[in-house]
Amino acid sequence: MVNNKKIIIGNWKMNLNVQESSLYLHQLSKIVKTHRDVEVVLSPTTLTLQSLSLQVNLRQFKLAAQNFYWRDQGSYTGEVSATQLRGIVQYGLVGHSERRHIFGESDKDIRSKVEAAVRNHIRPVLCIGETAWERSNGETYDILHDQLIGGFANITSEELSRVVVAYEPVWAVGTGQNALPTYVSAAVSAIRNQIEHLYGKKASESIQVIYGGSVTPDSAADYLALPGVDGLLIGGASLNAHSFNEIIKKAHRGSAVVE
């Protein structure tokens, strides 16, 4: 059962080519000990997903797409669909701040991608978070509210159990300026309150909410200790197998190693 596991996702973004990705996976698989209470997910560039899917031991790591198009097939030059990714990945990032802010993805695009992922048996990781400007204007909770409603508009409560929410304040992504744990805690409570409002108490307690933004091996444990934080979405620190493994180790709560 995935829902009582911590989820640690490494988002490699547009880094590592096919050979480097394969070598990285090889190195990581040698040092990471598999525990029942942690799900480790690797999110390489789309280019490498297929080859890594043949190399990966799914009992050790799952794979996530960083992005995909929401239609299943057709004349959409340059795009890759969730249907094409089905069976290759288990997770799909949706609405990452870089997709929203660099590539102009709208809540409608993001909602369609959440639906496409669910339709294709891929767990969507809906990324939400405020910019520095929105934060300084006191709009953080309004933004989280709007992005949640925008992303989940067509998702049923049964489908919600397969969804992950990643809280990634945009000002903390790739800046080295990680959010204070108290700040993350308040934002995650706001997210759960909003889910309760939309789907009820049970859903708000069981949905998995993770944090991302300049997490390092030194700061990981502070977030993982927060009630309501079910894991981490790691960018820069996931590009080094040793530092990523240090973060994974922080997520274990003493469960036995799975051989």
- Which residues contact ligand 13P by CB under 6 A? 11, 96, 168, 173-174, 212-215, 233-237
Catalytic positions, written as ranges? 96, 168
Q: Are 40 and 8 in contact (CB under 8 A)?
A: yes
Q: How far is the CB of 77 from ligand 13P (least distance, A)?
A: 27
Distances (CA, A) of 86 to 21, 44, 70, 82, 100: 20, 16, 13, 6, 23
Contacts by 139-148 with C-beta closer than 8 Å and gap 24+?
140/169, 140/187, 140/190, 141/187, 141/190, 144/187, 144/190, 144/191, 144/194, 145/190, 145/194, 146/107, 147/95, 147/107, 147/110, 148/191, 148/194, 148/195, 148/198
State the Cα–Cα distance between residues 191 and 210, nearest whole angstrom.
11
Q: Which is nearer to ligand 13P, 71 or 249 (CB)?
A: 249
Number of Cβ within 10 Å of residue 159's Cβ equals 16
Q: How far is the CB of 74 from ligand 13P (least distance, A)?
A: 29
Distance from the first to the final alpha carbon of the chain? 18
Structure-token pair, residue 121: 């048996």
Q: How far is the CB of 216 from ligand 13P (least distance, A)?
A: 8
Q: How far is the CB of 166 from ligand 13P (least distance, A)?
A: 7
Residue nearest to ligand 13P (CB): 235
Q: Which is nearer to ligand 13P, 82 or 210 (CB)?
A: 210
Q: Which is nearer to ligand 13P, 174 or 181 (CB)?
A: 174
Q: Which is nearer to ligand 13P, 199 or 244 (CB)?
A: 244
